[in-house]
Structure 1
């Protein structure tokens, strides 16, 4: 009997791919030699300090800025000036300062853009109801835009962006200035769009949101894409595990026992009863550590394992680039 054949891992197609993408203004480089690959169905987070080139990169991907040099491919199709209209059907772009027409109501605003997208009845009305339900604004469909909250206006902008059912969504600082509840509502909408198969690139300074949403992360610095990897890979390479321990006994006794473990890299007092340690082991190693502390008679009241968050990773990457 022939041995069973192992199937090769499925390679997802690339929704976006760039080669040597560069943009200069008056010979000053703003985006330099960017090689970017985003797989279909990914949510890709773009991070970096102000002035790093994120918005210019997104505007090139949205076909608003013409690259100085370099190539952009969407779903395997190379962009050039002759197929702009065709490729724009794939794309939805929400800039951070997209203007709304305050003298229109919500329905008329979306209907205006639906007509620009050449949506005909009855599909046009059906699509308006769909996007209003998606962004939770059905109850506001007759409300003047001037009466909407900032969060509602941002969700309305997103509704306009997905009216034509794009395959790729480009979002530039979409949660800027939103309160925590509005950010949570926006995150849930993004998750719904991803579950429907949309590929999403999102830039934001709210790294906790990106950590919850994204499958991959890219970091820009001075116009260069200095890091691009899956979120899982970034955590594995750069996120140090930490353990928070609390005791009813002496911190000196706890510290002494901790030093017996080869995986303890540092010990930092947090309070009179609590320590934070940097830990290099895996889950089995942390379980062994807990067992040894209990066997040593340490009266633990807390043993909590965490990992450094995306903000800490971002700071580490920035420090590496600076050095």
Structure 2
């Protein structure tokens, strides 16, 4: 992943009549990363994505995509060619076959043979619709239709892919298939912004997270940094020594806020181990330093397991309310 910015906005604002839907958003997304956008309904996520997709003109502010500025009041054809956009309600043409549908959009992007046919084969294989190539769209399942919509949005190999609730209403198997496609696209170098209420999916996919509330971007950071700053971590430590000695050593550390000896659940070769759970408010480097200090103090540590709170819990702990 490079440090080059695929997206940069400054003071981005959208007002409808007397209502401000997006307010002074400064957003940065690095090239090659997957950026997750979360927030309650009405927070402004879809409006922000539509502005980035050049489907909605900003009231104020600036948008840059791979360094090119969005110009208000103009068509921005070069910028639009860099974009792929999958809204949550894009219509499909049920009478067309999968191949003809994708071929139609490829022609709209001026792809010419033999490159056009090669690209169609590539995206159909990527979304796993090879055996449905000649089938009418109306005969496809909901999950297949969503994968086809995703194929349509990347047919021109955009630099930036914008996905608004791409797994909404899909069953677990279909969600996994869409997640795998997104991972493959990132591996190919594509930058992806994805909005979703399914935070477990974002936790698996994203490098960075942005949180919107009442039109403002109230949080934007790397996912691991968000975990480190916001989660209430628990560390389980197992020792072959005396649990009291371990507790005494742990209480010397300011970042350890709770210390509890757990009932012995070890078996086999480590059946004599004592397990201690601590609440820890430090980051990854701090937990590594804690482990080193315990070892240096002569505590015989045999396991040191750092758990991680879910993204959903962090979202709630930050004071926001997830809605569906």
Output the aligned Cα RMSD: 3.0
Which residue of structure 2 lines up, in the alignment, with residue 236 of structure 1?
Answer: 228
Which residue of structure 1 lines up, in the alignment, with residue 290 of structure 2?
Answer: 285
Q: 1:118 and 2:119 equivalent?
A: no
Shift of 1:240: 3.0
Q: 1:197 and 2:202 equivalent?
A: no
Q: 1:73 and 2:64 equivalent?
A: yes
Q: Within 5 Å, which residues of 2 pair with 1:40-119? A: 40-80=31-71, 81-119=73-111
Which residue of structure 1 lines up, in the alignment, with residue 310 of structure 2?
Answer: 309
Q: CA, structure 1 residues 197+257, in 2 after alignment: closer, same or farther (shift >3 Å)?
A: closer
Corresponding residue pairs, total: 303
Which residue of structure 2 lines up, in the alignment, with residue 183 of structure 1?
Answer: 175
Query: 1:186-244, CA deviations, whole angstroms, 9 ceiling, x for partnerless residues?
Result: 11111111111111111111112112211111110010000111122212222232134
Shift of 1:246: 9.1
| Structure 2 gap ranges (5+) | 266-274
Distance, in Å, in 2 between the alignment partners of 1:93 and 1:258 is 54
Shift of 1:257: 6.0
Shift of 1:94: 0.2
Shift of 1:120: 2.1
TM-score relative to the length of structure 1:
0.83
> CA contact under 8 A between 1:255 and 1:267: conserved in structure 2?
no
Distance, in Å, in 2 between the alignment partners of 1:60 and 1:41 is 20
TM-score relative to the length of structure 2:
0.83
Q: 1:20 and 2:20 equivalent?
A: no
Query: 3-state SS of the aligned residue for 1:318?
Result: coil
Query: 1:164-203, CA deviations, whole angstroms, 9 ceiling, x for partnerless residues?
Result: 1111100001111222222221111111111111111111
Equivalent of 2:131 in 139, 157, 164: 139
Query: 3-state SS of the aligned residue for 2:48?
Result: helix
Q: CA, structure 1 residues 223+131, in 2 after alignment: closer, same or farther (shift >3 Å)?
A: same
